[in-house]
Structure formats: structure tokens, C-alpha cells
Amino acid sequence: MNSKLYAAPLFLAPLFYTASTFFWQVGGQYSVTSGTLIIIGSIFWVIAFAVLFESLKEKTPYYAAIGFLISVYGCLCGGVAFALRDIYALVFNVSHQTMLNAFAQHPVFTNIVFWIGGPALPISLLVLGIMLIRTKTVDLWVGTCISLSGILFPISRITRMELIAHITDVLILIPFTYLGWKLIRTNELKKP
């Protein structure tokens, strides 16, 4: 694995998510800009998760495989789907209530993509942080920040409170930037 190439998504993914909250519309809906940043960030999240789950493959092979699958599901449904939902609602001038009424007519789709898929990303962060600590793959503070971000992420996005979103984004950005820097410097994520 070319560590320098794979290190970039570790800080680009949370950086795009962090930037996106500065472009929320009034009321916390994604704008076209913030939604686009979420979509690009989600692409980088898939690669970032691949790097992190690869580091767990030796000690927890089943979790590494299943956890990666769930995290990708969360990136696509929790990230991309919600961003596209808000972009299309804005572009086609669809009210939030109209959108909810339309989704109610398609409960299987809505549950798979939004209500089950949406929490998959923060749950992935929560459990990933715990597993990285448990396997002693990263420093305690790194795993703790990742897990805390998994708890705060849905709170920040459900309440659409910008201050909580910014705190959460920084809480994600710091440990992932550190891991990216460490991967560039030492060619591995694991603690010495």
C-alpha cells in the first residue's frame, strides 16, 4: 500500500464534511454547495474507512469485513443520499413536508436508505473508535475522539445546530488528520 496516497483521504474526508457545515442553509438543510461537499467527502470516507479497517484485519478479521461494509453503507446512505435529498429539494423547490409525505409512500426505500442507512456512518465511527482502542491500534485519545464523534454526529445533524456540528466536525478532523500524518511519516497507523 502506498501510504502517502492512502493518507490523504484520512484528512480529506473529514475536511470536506467540516467545510460543508459552513454552507448550511438557514434551518440546517444542506445547500447545493454543502451537499456537494458531503458527496465528495463521502467518496474520501470510503477510502479512509478501507485504510482503517485494513489496520484491524489481522486482529479482528470478521469485524474488519463487516464493519467496513456497514461504514460504506453509511457513507452512501448517510452521506450521499441525505445530501442529494436536500440538493434535489432545493433545486426543484420541494418543501420539507412534501418530501416527507412522498417518502411515506415508499417505506421500504425510505427505511433502507435514510432511517437505517443514515445512522450507519455514526455507528461505524463509534464502534470503530472502540475497536481501535481495544486492539491497541491507535492511541487512546484518537479512538476516544473517533467514538465521541460517532455519538455527537447524529445529534449535530438531527438538531441542525451549527455550533454542535462544528464541534463534532473538529472532533472528527483532529484524530483523522493525526492518523493521516502518522501514515505519511511512519508508513503505518499502528502504535509502536
Examine residue 99 and state whether it is found in any structural domain, yes or no.
Answer: yes
Per-residue confidence band for 192, with pLDDT thresholds at 50, 70 and 90: low
Average pLDDT, the chain: 92
Residues 70-129 have pLDDT tens digits of 999 999 998 999 999 999 999 999 998 999 999 999 999 999 999 999 999 999 999 999
Examine residue 123 and state whether it is found in any structural domain, yes or no.
Answer: yes
pLDDT of residue 4: 75
Mean pLDDT for 29-50 is 96
Examine residue 44 and state whether it is found in any structural domain, yes or no.
Answer: yes
3-state secondary structure the chain: CCHHHHHHHHHHHHHHHHHHHHHCCCCCCCCHHHHHHHHHHHHHHHHHHHHHHHHHCCCCHHHHHHHHHHHHHHHHHHHHHHHHHHHHHHHCCCCHHHHHHHHHCCHHHHHHHHHHHHHHHHHHHHHHHHHHHHCCCCCHHHHHHHHHHHHHHHHHHHHCCHHHHHHHHHHHHHHHHHHHHHHHHHCCCCCC
Total number of domains constituting the chain: 1
Examine residue 191 and state whether it is found in any structural domain, yes or no.
Answer: no
Examine residue 107 and state whether it is found in any structural domain, yes or no.
Answer: yes
Does position 191 have pLDDT exceeding 70, yes or no? no
Examine residue 192 and state whether it is found in any structural domain, yes or no.
Answer: no
Supply the pTM of this predicted model: 0.92
Does position 145 have pLDDT exceeding 90, yes or no? yes
Domain that residue 181 falls in: 3-186
Examine residue 7 and state whether it is found in any structural domain, yes or no.
Answer: yes
Examine residue 17 and state whether it is found in any structural domain, yes or no.
Answer: yes
Does position 3 have pLDDT exceeding 70, yes or no? no
